[in-house]
Structure 1
Amino acid sequence: MDTDLISNLPDDVLGKILSLVPTKLAAATSVLSKRWRNLLPLVDSLDFDESMLFYPDNKDGEDEASSDESGLGRRHRFSHFVDKTLALLSNAPLIKRFSLKCFYENDEARINSWIRTALERGCLELNLEAANYLCIDSQYFTSNTLVKLTISDGFYPEGHLPSGGVFFPALKTLTLVEVSFASRDMLEFFIHGCPALEELFLCVWMQYLSSPNVKRVTITSDFDDNVYQLPSIRIKTPSLMYLDYSSYVAGDYYVVLDSLVEARLDLRLYESIIYDDDGSLWNEEVFGNVTNLIEGIRTIKSLHLSPNSLEVFYFCCDSDFMPVLEDLVNLAIESDKEKGWEVMPSLLNKSPNLQTLVIKGLVHRVTDCCGDACACIRMMDREIVSCLSRCRVKVLEILGYGGSFRELKQMRHFLGKLRCLETVRVGVKEDSKKSNYLVANVMALPRVSSKCKIQFI
């Protein structure tokens, strides 16, 4: 006779197990036997997903949402299930995690009551997602215990801020994805209601951010570039150590980033730069100014720039006024065949203590302003002293190396100019053919530094 070892486990252990499975399955275990009948109140993690929880009757391949009656039935069954489950848990000590995904239910009063119940029951982590716009009543959107909050898609806070609501004194992590706010100031008030915030993930339109204690911020502030150009961006985060920022370039930046250590920037121009066939610039009027932003990250030690950011740094910052990045020791850039390296000389000259340079892809656009950090520079009447000769880089890492003639030429330029090089790491493309031949070509290149060792990874 088989022994039911799982049913013999202590109640608290079974409660932990049920908390790890979808709430629908946890509730279904109550019909297994008398042993499981009263275990649901021990569940401390609830996951209500309307798209997966119930399905309407499907006859002859009829589409699930083909009739209003089936939709109403689905909403009724989902609401009944959530109400019943929360009622069964009314005497449970704590709801640690509460996840609610609404795709058909649109009774805002009822949904707000579920959220309020979770918060009143000491919820530590709250995840909200909706397919349709559903209002969160900010007046009751408070908790002294909530540590992690995620709001995405259709849910949006509404209320009279800052006079009441949205206060999470223990919140450490906040994620807002495509959340609509009633006003531009409401996002500011919302974040202001989270004074202990340490991690912030924003995928929303934003123009101003202020948070005194946040240490990590990820911002994806994309919008249609045909709407308008951002006049300015204000970021006041004096304790911030890590910034990942993706957006269109603003007219100016006012930032307080005194503690910043690492940043990943993906800044984009509103209009593409157009070049003639000979590589000369066709349109020279470009919107945006990142000089103050670069000044604001002067304490940074590690910087990662996308191909778009290289373009923005060149066209939106006068090289004569580019701030010196005294503390920068690690610089990583990505190349694109449509983007130039014009900014690289200024960037390297303004990074006097740079130790490690990482480049993903060596192929870039050749222009008449192509910087002397690259091998495709066009010599005029006099020899140009390359910025690489003054560079103190000890470690050079090349990723996605394909072994083309242009790439090999650029490798020769680096090895022949970087006098302090000690280590060169080359990451070869997985689909590269004749890898032995590729390796031999690189290893045969002359090196100005006698300490230089080349590794293939």
Structure 2
Amino acid sequence: MNLDFDDSTRMHPGVRKQERDKIRRLFINHVDRKLALHGNAPLNRFSIKCKDDVGPAPLIGWISNVLNRQVSELVLDISSHWNWPLSSEVVACETMVQEFWESCSVSSVTLKRLTFLNFASLVEASLDLQMTHDQINKAKFSEDGPVDLEVGTMVGNATDLLMGIRNVKTLYLSDNTLEVLAFCCKPMPVYNNLVHLTIKTDRDVEWESLTALLKNCPNLETLVFEGLLHKHGMNCGSHECLCRPYEEEDIPICLSSSPVKVIKILKFGVICEDEDMDKMMEQVEYFLETMPNLEQLIIHYETYIDEDVEEVLSQFQMVPREGLTKCKIQVISDNLSLSST
């Protein structure tokens, strides 16, 4: 049985405060009634989306209820101004869900979306964590390592969260999450079971945390990028990034020792500035030059011009891979799919 609740259909910015209070109470009562109606029946999925702040008490009660009913999939998409730890309130079942809540104090000021599967046999996780601008500014000027700001702003170290999902085989990280990990996750856990990693990138987010993560994925086979831009781009030159460093001998270890066999790049060709295409081309070329075990490169090119596809494939085919595994290259557009021989 699945139970899905979403208050966004009625809760929108134009609703007056008095009406919002009424909608909030009706939503809480609706969820309570549905949970009570089904008693202790096992749940496959429980999804709760709250665009408005329902407060910690109702949400803690709902989570406790479904955990005790051995829910297999728990999806939280919440908005709140409260700073509240779930760990002391949730009476957990004998799964890693309990271990997670006990080890990680969650602040919904920083938490925008978390998707949980059964932690006893968790194989896939999707993280979209977000910091406010104030939190980011304070984190940048922190000299004490992992951020642990005062109550009311954010909960500190995100390492516990990453540790809680360290056995996953498939992991998706949003661009916002990369930013959170850069400030709030030190040291990075080791992901021995991870074989498939998807990264959403953004031109305003750095890749420092991604470099640290890749170092700790010794068995990673497939690396997927949703977009291929990051902050500073070709002008970065940092040895803590995945882009080409200023000194050729400063190849990041996460690339030179990478076990990755397949790289997929989505949204290739989506640009905001003229130089963005050059940045993406150079990044792909650097992957080809440095990743020793790469066997397949798949590029989904956002273009309707067949000549563009042909030109990109031709250019990547000319990248030298001396002493490295031979790599098959495929470039796909809406109209055309070309592969190297």
TM-score by shorter chain over 0.5? yes
Aligned to 1:111: none
SS at match of 2:61: helix
Aligned mates of 1:157, 1:435 — CA distance in 2? 55
Aligned to 2:222: 356
Give the deviation of 1:323 after TM superposition: 1.5
Aligned mates of 1:454, 1:348 — CA distance in 2? 22
Aligned mates of 2:189, 2:320 — CA distance in 1? 34
Aligned to 2:168: 300
Aligned to 1:435: 309
**TM-score (normalised: structure 2):** 0.68
Name the one with the larger strand percent.
1
Flag the structure with more relative contact order, 1 or 2, with Cα contacts below 8 A and sequence separation at least 6.
Answer: 2
Q: Are 1:335 and 1:363, in contact at CA under 8 Å, matched by a contact in 2? A: yes
Aligned to 2:298: 425
Give the deviation of 1:332 after TM superposition: 0.6
List per-residue Cα deviations over 1:53-112 (Å, max 9, x = no partner).
Answer: xxxxxxxxxxxxxxxxxxxxxxxxxxxxxxxxxxxxxxxxxxxxxxxxxxxxxxxxxxxx
Give the deviation of 1:349 after TM superposition: 1.0
Give the deviation of 1:341 after TM superposition: 0.4
Alignment of 1:263 with 2:125, yes or no, is: yes
SS at match of 1:375: coil
Change (3 A) 1:168 1:407: same
**TM-score (normalised: structure 1):** 0.52
Q: How is 1:118-133 mapped onto 2 (pairs within 5 angstroms)?
A: 131=10
SS at match of 1:331: strand
Structure label with greater radius of gyration: 1
Letter in structure 1 aligned against 2:257:
R
SS at match of 1:391: coil
Unaligned runs of 5+ in 2: 11-18, 101-105, 150-155, 270-275, 333-341
List per-residue Cα deviations over 1:93-149 (Å, max 9, x = no partner).
Answer: xxxxxxxxxxxxxxxxxxxxxxxxxxxxxxx989898956798xxxxxxxxxxxxxx
Q: Are 2:166 and 2:189, in contact at CA under 8 Å, matched by a contact in 1? A: yes
Unaligned runs of 5+ in 1: 1-123, 136-150, 195-209, 275-280
Aligned to 1:168: 39
Aligned to 1:220: 77
Name the one with the larger helix percent.
2
Percent of paired sites with the same residue: 29
Q: Are 1:333 and 1:360, in contact at CA under 8 Å, matched by a contact in 2? A: yes
Give the deviation of 1:351 after TM superposition: 0.7
Alignment of 1:391 with 2:258, yes or no, is: yes
Aligned mates of 2:5, 2:253 — CA distance in 1? 53
Aligned mates of 1:346, 1:182 — CA distance in 2? 37
Change (3 A) 1:369 1:437: closer
Aligned mates of 1:264, 1:126 — CA distance in 2? 18
Aligned mates of 1:257, 1:271 — CA distance in 2? 32
Q: Are 1:213 and 1:239, in contact at CA under 8 Å, matched by a contact in 2? A: no
Change (3 A) 1:336 1:345: same
Give the deviation of 1:376 after TM superposition: 4.0
SS at match of 1:436: helix
Aligned mates of 2:264, 2:62 — CA distance in 1? 42
The count of aligned residue pairs is 283
Q: Are 1:154 and 1:179, in contact at CA under 8 Å, matched by a contact in 2? A: no
Alignment of 1:405 with 2:266, yes or no, is: no
Give the deviation of 1:258 after TM superposition: 3.9
Give the deviation of 1:308 after TM superposition: 0.8
Aligned mates of 1:370, 1:436 — CA distance in 2? 32
Aligned mates of 1:261, 1:293 — CA distance in 2? 15
